[in-house]
Amino acid sequence: MSAALIVVAILGVFLLIIVAAAVRILREYERGVVFRLGRLIAQKGPGLILLIPFIDQMVRVDLRTVTLNVPPQEVITKDNVTARVNAVAYFRVVDPNKAITDVENYLLATSQIAQTTLRSVLGKAELDSLLAERERLNVELQQIIDEQTEPWGVKVTTVEMKDVEIPQEMQRVIARQAEAERERRAKVIAADGEFQASAKLSQAADIMSRNPATLQLRYLQTLLEMGVNQNTTIVFPLPIDLLKAFIPNSGPATTASVAPPVDPAEMPPPLDPDDLPPADVGDLGDAETGEPSPPS
Parallel, antiparallel or unpaired: strands 47-50 and 56-62: unpaired
pLDDT interval class at 229 (50, 70, 90): low
Q: CA-to-CA distance for 149 and 166, rounded, in angstroms?
A: 30
| Predicted model pTM | 0.59
Q: CA-to-CA distance for 91 and 236, rounded, in angstroms?
A: 78
Using one digit for the tens of pLDDT, what is the confidence trace for 250-265?
555 444 444 555 555 5
Using one digit for the tens of pLDDT, what is the confidence trace for 129-151?
888 889 999 999 999 999 999 99
Mean pLDDT of the residues in the chain: 80
| Residue pair 128/173 in contact by the 8 Å Cβ criterion | no
pLDDT for the residue numbered 283:
47
Report whether pLDDT(168) > 90.
Answer: no
